Amino acid sequence: MSDSIPSFDLQEYYNKLVAIGYFADDDRAPLPYMLNHNLVSTNKCNYNQYHEIPTQNDYNIEYISIPKNGTHYVINKFKIESENQCKGVGAARIPPSAQLACGTIEKSIFNNNNNYKMVIIREPISRAISSYQEMLKLREDCPWSTPITRKLMFYKTRDNVEKSFAYFLHEIYKYGFYDQHMFSQYECINNELLYYKSFKNNIFILFENMKDELEEVAKIHKIDSISDEEAKSQFINKGSSEVKERIMKLITENDKYLKVIKHLYSEDFKLYEKVKNEDRFYR
């Protein structure tokens, strides 16, 4: 992955893509052109945002919010105000008022300070299914990737869950990760030099144990927080459990799909097992 994106006029770039039909619903812009000009693919984008969570101690916690790993729950739980507590570099506003939270000319957004770094790690198969469901939403705040999704077979066959998910795996294998919601977890944190022991103070939370482990983090680090019930009541990102069950059944009964997921997210499987089996610390 490139460490930087060349400096250019983002508004001019956007206008150019509008002119050739990048954001249009028709087929004016060829898919290869769109993939090449997409600014949030992994070969053009460093995932480099974090939320700063204040504590009652003499340090804060910098929460690296990996997409599809419970970000909205954490934001609710710790009463994070994204407008004031979201940090990072390379962010810009483009029409239609959607934030481009990618790209940096800096190696890292951190300076090896004394703050704790917190990240939530999720089991890769579950996360791949969640990423698939997210991409089908055609999110308005993902203006670069949504036009690409419309052109792909996994979206066009979405009424057939099994067939659509098979296409999803095939197309990200073929075209690469073209949206941050499908980036590998390892990619998100390795960009920031966080991958194990690079920083003095790391907090690794397992997605499936998020409720209990975040409670423990709140107590240890004296963080103002709300209850699990309150955090869940504000939760906005609920995928279909029926779809998840059908896809999991597909993966279980067809080893070839599991092999593709393990290939696409090979580092994530290693990371997940390491976090799961390690005697993690929060102090």
Tens of pLDDT, residues 131-160 = 999 999 998 888 889 999 999 999 999 999
What is the pLDDT, as a whole number, of residue 236?
58
High-pLDDT (> 70) share of the chain, %: 77
Residue 45 pLDDT > 70: no
Q: How confident is the model at residue 26 (pLDDT cuts 50, 70, 90)?
A: confident
Task: Kindly state the greatest CA–CA separation across the chain.
Answer: 56
What is the pLDDT, as a whole number, of residue 93?
34
Q: How confident is the model at residue 278 (pLDDT cuts 50, 70, 90)?
A: confident
> Taking residues 58-80, what's their average pLDDT?
91
Q: How confident is the model at residue 81 (pLDDT cuts 50, 70, 90)?
A: confident
What is the pLDDT, as a whole number, of residue 43?
63
Residue 196 pLDDT > 50: no
Which burial class, exposed, middle or buried, applies to 119 when counting CB atoms under 10 A from its CB (0-12, 13-18, 19+)? buried
What is the pLDDT, as a whole number, of residue 49?
72
> Taking residues 234-242, what's their average pLDDT?
71
High-pLDDT (> 90) share of the chain, %: 50
Residue 112 pLDDT > 70: no
Q: How confident is the model at residue 238 (pLDDT cuts 50, 70, 90)?
A: low
Residue 254 pLDDT > 60: yes
What is the pLDDT, as a whole number, of residue 180?
87
> Taking residues 117-132, what's their average pLDDT?
95
Please give the residue that has the higher pLDDT: either 111 or 207.
207
Q: How confident is the model at residue 248 (pLDDT cuts 50, 70, 90)?
A: very high
What is the pLDDT, as a whole number, of residue 65?
86
Residue 62 pLDDT > 90: no
Q: How confident is the model at residue 110 (pLDDT cuts 50, 70, 90)?
A: low
